Homo-oligomer: A and B are copies of this chain.
Amino acid sequence: MTILDGKKISNMIKDEIKEEVDQMKDRREKVPHLAAVLVGNDGASQTYVNSKVKSCNRVGFESTLIKLENTITELELLRQIDKLNKNKDIDGFIVQLPLPPQINTQKVIMAIDPDKDVDGFHPANFGKMALDMTSFIPATPFGILELLERYDVETKGKHTVVIGRSHIVGRPMSILMGRKGWPGNSTVTQTHSHTKNITQIISQADIVISALGIPNFLKAEMVKDDAVVIDVGITRVPDDTKKKGYRIAGDADFEAVSKKASFITPVPGGVGPMTISMLLKNTLLAREMHLND
């Protein structure tokens, strides 16, 4: 059994990006510039955005953090986005979700210039992805592809079962695993809350990608021998032995499942740490695209 070590791979990718940025600097080229828009004071959102900014610093990107009041109107936010769209110095930007209730999230996503949409949430990017064109792939699915690639996991002709159909994980993942190329060329079964015989379907999977958010859902007896298990669950479980009062749990019963799997991502330290690196990768891609503008 091999652990798909997202923390290690994520650091490797950051080092690789830093090297590219150093070369840009040597050539006196503009370095990639990521902006992040944070609305309100949600603790988790602040943590995410801060670590995105910190990662930019680490790899040598420029970064801009735009903090907006929780009471901002939709129109004001759309104006900020328009400014970022027009600001030639900024290669890509993200609007940290969730947004306060007075704001229509879809409208906000639609307002982002697809060429700067490094989260890959705009339908123009999603459609390109589904039609096999180059695009910004959302960070979590992109990170999973990268892990499969770095660990040389065969996906062609394998049966991949994706649990969950969210716009940011399940749906893009099932499209990506069925695309031509590698990682891809899998037979993909997309399951969700209406799936009836989920246990029987999972038992057929060579690769299981679980994005359900139910700790301990995936048990050893459910997976095939030598299955590849990608655990995208991130649930906070109360735990008094931890300083924060909780621990992060994945969907899989890691201890038991890992004994049966050929590859498995731990939680934490698997898919999670990959996401920021993939955001940086998308920002680097945005910079390269804009070079040709």
Measuring CB to CB, which residues of chain A are less than 8 angstroms from any residue of chain B?
106, 122-133, 135, 156-157, 159, 165, 167, 171, 174-175, 178-179, 185-192, 194-197, 201
Contacts and interface: CB of A to CB of B under 8 A. Distances in A.
A67 B127 CA distance: 29
A212 to B, nearest CB: 14
Given A126-B130, A186-B194, 16 more contacts: A123-B130, A125-B127, A127-B127, A127-B128, A157-B194, A157-B196, A165-B178, A171-B175, A174-B190, A178-B192, A187-B189, A187-B190, A187-B194, A187-B195, A188-B190, A189-B190
Copies of this chain per assembly: 2
15 contacts: A123-B125, A123-B126, A123-B131, A123-B133, A123-B135, A124-B124, A126-B127, A127-B127, A131-B171, A156-B194, A174-B174, A186-B194, A187-B191, A187-B195, A189-B189
Nearest to A179: B165
Contacts of A126: 123, 126-127, 130-131
A156 B192 CA distance: 11
Nearest to A186: B194
A49 B72 CA distance: 51
Nearest to A114: B124
A215 to B, nearest CB: 23
A132 B165 CA distance: 11
A171 B201 CA distance: 21
Nearest to A122: B127
A269 to B, nearest CB: 30
Given A124-B123, A124-B124, A175-B175, A131 B167 contact: yes
Nearest to A124: B124
A130 B185 contact: no
A190 B178 contact: yes
A179 B171 CA distance: 9
Given A126-B127, A126-B130, A171-B130, A187 B196 contact: yes
Contacts of A135: 123
Contacts of A125: 123, 127
Nearest to A161: B189
A188 B125 CA distance: 23
B189 A188 contact: yes
A157 B132 CA distance: 29
A98 to B, nearest CB: 17
Contacts of A132: 167
Nearest to A135: B123
Contacts of A157: 194-196
A196 to B, nearest CB: 5
